[in-house]
């Protein structure tokens, strides 16, 4: 299967999704909104040294977080996304084009200066990497954010089980996802929710998160819905509602 996240088409969609000027249907910029939600959750916690953005795509959430953190690491498996994020961080601008109709395209420019992100972006270290194979950091993170990632992983439960070792006790885990379960990414036997139990009860992904994250984490505030829109063409948009959940690493969690 071609990796969609390496294609020019999806790269330009994501550059526009993260850095484009439009707010289709009045829906605010999603990667920026996710960073805001993380920071709101952490409002009473002044430990903001290191953050980790997993499945960072072309990097907007990591750059926004770098406005509040000393350093941000941002990982994605897509070489094309990470190359674009690095180029934008280093040059301050990046030209791309979006599809209007067929081969008719419009030129666009991502401009970090105009978004107030040029300086913060320099505090983000982007790398190609697999969120399912994270090394245990010498210096644990204060925040781990994974936006629209858990439903793209082959083994989401393994991923969730390894997260405590990334965070300091009291550190924050913020997961955003529309729970779009697709068998080409996650074999059905690996789903943590989105199915009925043997006695017919619906088991949701949110329930699966509780099952796999607790007691190493506790849910720290009520989940919120966050809409996003990805523009495919001038006349076709994906309008989706992600759920954002907020977790704190328990002081007693085993690493």
Residue numbers of the site for ligand SAM (CB under 6 A)? 5, 17, 31, 54-57, 75-78, 81, 130-132, 147-149, 152-153
With H, G, I as helix, E, B as strand and everything else as coil, classify residue 57.
coil
- The nearest distance, CB 65 to ligand SAM, in angstroms, is 12
In angstroms, the CA 129 to CA 132 distance is: 9
CB of 128 vs ligand SAM, minimal distance in Å: 9
**Spatial distance between the Cα atoms of 144 and 132, rounded to a whole number of angstroms:** 13
For residues 1 and 47, which CB has a smaller minimum distance to ligand SAM in the complex? 1
Neighbours of 251 (CB within 10 A): 8
Q: How far is the CB of 6 from ligand SAM (least distance, A)?
A: 8
In the bound complex, which residue of the shown chain has the CB atom lying closest to ligand SAM?
A: 55
The whole-angstrom separation of Cα 68 and Cα 51 is 10
Q: Which of 6, 39, 44, 67 is nearest to 174 (CA)?
A: 39
Closer residue to ligand SAM (CB): 33 or 42 = 33
Answer whether 60's CB lies under 8 Å from 30's CB.
no
Nearer to ligand SAM, 25 or 197 (CB): 25
Minimal distance, residue 40 CB to ligand SAM, in Å: 18
Decide whether 55 or 193 has the Cβ nearer to ligand SAM: 55
CB of 169: closest distance to ligand SAM in angstroms?
25
Report how far residue 44's alpha carbon sits from residue 157's, in angstroms, rounded to the nearest whole number.
30
Closer to ligand SAM by CB, 21 or 215: give it: 21
Contacts of 86 (CB under 8 A, 6+ apart): 126
């Amino acid at each position: 299967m071609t990796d969609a996240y390496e294609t020019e088409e999806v790269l330009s969609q994501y550059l526009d999704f993260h850095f484009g000027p439009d707010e289709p249907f009045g829906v605010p910029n999603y990667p920026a909104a996710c960073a805001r939600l993380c920071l709101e959750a952490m409002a009473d916690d002044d430990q903001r040294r290191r953050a980790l953005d997993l499945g960072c795509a072309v990097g907007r959430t990591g750059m926004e977080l770098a406005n509040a953190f000393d350093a941000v690491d941002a990982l994605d498996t897509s070489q094309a996304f990470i190359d674009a994020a690095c180029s934008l961080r280093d040059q301050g601008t990046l030209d791309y084009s979006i599809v209007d109709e067929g081969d008719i395209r419009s030129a666009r420019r991502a401009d970090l200066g105009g978004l107030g992100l040029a300086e913060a972006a320099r505090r983000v270290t982007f790398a190609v990497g697999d969120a399912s194979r994270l090394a245990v950091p010498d210096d644990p993170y204060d925040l781990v954010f994974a936006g629209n990632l858990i439903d793209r992983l082959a083994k989401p439960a393994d991923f969730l089980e390894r997260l405590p070792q990334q965070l300091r006790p009291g550190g924050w885990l913020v997961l955003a996802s529309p729970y779009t379960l697709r068998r080409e990414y996650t074999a059905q036997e690996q789903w943590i929710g989105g199915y009925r139990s043997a006695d017919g009860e619906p088991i949701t992904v949110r329930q699966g998160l509780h099952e796999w994250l607790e007691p190493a984490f506790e849910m720290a505030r009520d989940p919120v819905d966050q809409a996003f829109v990805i523009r495919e063409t001038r006349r076709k948009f994906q309008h989706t509602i992600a759920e954002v959940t907020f977790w704190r690493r328990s002081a007693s969690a085993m690493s």
